[in-house]
């Protein structure tokens, strides 16, 4: 379950990005994240744990500084012991926004899972700090994380590997690089395991900005595929053998481009508002 937070404070936004977001021209996702976190008063913390490249954190710090964030700190969390350090926790406490980079989501979850840093991210988001993440950093945000699975459009009994995530929301499950890597089948499989959650497939250079009221808006150049199991009448998942295709009858699917919104509480998709000339 998400952290309950302080009753008098509004929850922070959750901003999962599908990966490969634009970093030079048309940086609409990163620009909007900085504005959300305070613009020229934004104090951002970058957590590059998922990446095995030494310069990932510094590259994002430079990007956010170019977008006029007031301060950007990179947390050098490369092993579990680092996620217990008091200086890392103190840095997080000063943040208006936290950003998790891409890489290997299992590296991210095995290093951060259950640590004081993970707990701090949950509590801070519940108390108003905005949390964004790209690729692996997007996948780990929900309670359940898609950790792997084959490509393809057909759901199969062994079509996805799940692991615990950060638990910033228990209403969504997120997949990234969605159309580019043909991941509809594994998202359908993940949703069919427990039709309580809504599946969100994020194309590259595409994000959702999920606000405290439970409505998200699509931002970026691609689309977001929403898999809604509310009206699911039948699933053969319980009787399927490993490798079998799975029947799912009554599953609803939306494809949402920039400006479209989705209400996760009422499970309602909304078209972009028309701009008047």
Domains and CATH numbers, the chain: 14-267 (3.40.50.880)
Q: What is the mean pLDDT of the chain?
A: 97
Q: Strand 248-249 vs strand 198-202: parallel, antiparallel, or unpaired?
A: unpaired
Q: Indicate which residue of 135, 144, 192, 217 is catalytic.
A: 135
pLDDT score, position 276: 55
pLDDT score, position 261: 98
pLDDT score, position 274: 76
Q: Sorting pLDDT into bands at 50, 70 and 90, what band is 232?
A: very high
Q: Please enumerate in sequence order all residues whose Cβ is within 8 A of that of 179, keeping only pairs 6 or more positions apart, or say none.
A: 201, 203, 222, 223, 225
d(CA 156, CA 24): 39
**Interval 235-242 mean pLDDT:** 95
Q: Indicate which residue of 192, 204, 217, 235 is catalytic.
A: 204
177 flagged as catalytic: yes
Q: C-alpha angle 215/219/224, rounded to 5°?
A: 75
Helix (H) or strand (E) segment spanning residue 268? strand 268-270
Max CA pair span of the chain? 56
d(CA 86, CA 93): 11
pLDDT value at 1 more than 80: no
Q: Indicate which residue of 3, 51, 130, 177 is catalytic.
A: 177
Q: Sorting pLDDT into bands at 50, 70 and 90, what band is 273?
A: confident
**Interval 248-261 mean pLDDT:** 98
pLDDT score, position 104: 96
73 flagged as catalytic: no
Q: Write the pLDDT tens digit of every residue in 164-206.
A: 999 999 999 999 999 999 999 999 999 999 899 999 999 999 9
Q: Write the pLDDT tens digit of every residue in 139-161.
A: 999 999 999 999 999 999 999 99
Count of CA atoms in the C-beta half-sphere (13 A) of 38: 20
Q: Write the pLDDT tens digit of every residue in 41-59.
A: 999 999 999 999 999 999 9
204 flagged as catalytic: yes
What percentage of residues in the chain have a pLDDT greater than 70?
A: 99
What percentage of residues in the chain have a pLDDT greater than 90?
A: 97
Let me know: does 250 contact 201? Beta carbons within 8 Å: no
d(CA 269, CA 261): 6
Let me know: does 168 contact 180? Beta carbons within 8 Å: no
**Interval 236-265 mean pLDDT:** 97
pLDDT value at 275 more than 70: no
Q: Write the pLDDT tens digit of every residue in 62-77.
A: 999 999 999 999 999 9
pLDDT score, position 175: 98
């Amino acid at each position: 379950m998400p952290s309950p937070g302080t009753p008098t404070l509004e929850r922070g936004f959750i901003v999962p990005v599908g990966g490969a977001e634009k970093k030079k021209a048309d940086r609409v996702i990163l620009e909007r994240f900085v504005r959300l976190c305070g613009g020229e008063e934004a104090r951002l913390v970058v957590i590059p744990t998922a990446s095995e490249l030494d310069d990932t954190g510094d590259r994002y710090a430079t990007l956010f500084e170019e977008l006029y964030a007031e301060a950007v700190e990179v947390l050098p969390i490369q092993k579990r012991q680092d996620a217990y350090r008091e200086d890392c926790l103190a840095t997080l406490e000063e943040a208006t926004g936290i950003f998790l980079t891409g890489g290997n989501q299992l590296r991210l979850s095995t290093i951060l899972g259950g640590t004081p840093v993970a707990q701090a991210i949950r509590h801070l988001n519940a108390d108003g700090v905005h949390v964004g993440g790209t690729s692996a950093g997007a996948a780990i945000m929900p309670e359940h994380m898609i950790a792997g699975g084959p490509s393809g459009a057909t759901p199969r009994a062994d079509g996805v590997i799940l692991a615990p995530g950060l638990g910033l929301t228990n209403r969504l499950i997120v997949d990234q690089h969605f159309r580019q890597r043909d991941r509809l089948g594994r998202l359908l499989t993940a949703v069919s395991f427990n039709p309580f959650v809504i599946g969100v497939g994020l194309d590259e250079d595409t994000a959702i900005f999920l606000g405290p009221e439970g409505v998200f808006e699509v931002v970026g150049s691609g689309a977001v595929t929403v898999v809604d199991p509310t009206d699911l009448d039948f699933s053969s998942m319980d009787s399927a053998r490993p490798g079998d295709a799975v029947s799912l009858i009554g599953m609803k699917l939306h494809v949402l481009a920039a400006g479209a919104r989705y209400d996760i509480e009422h499970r309602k998709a909304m078209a972009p508002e028309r701009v008047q000339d």
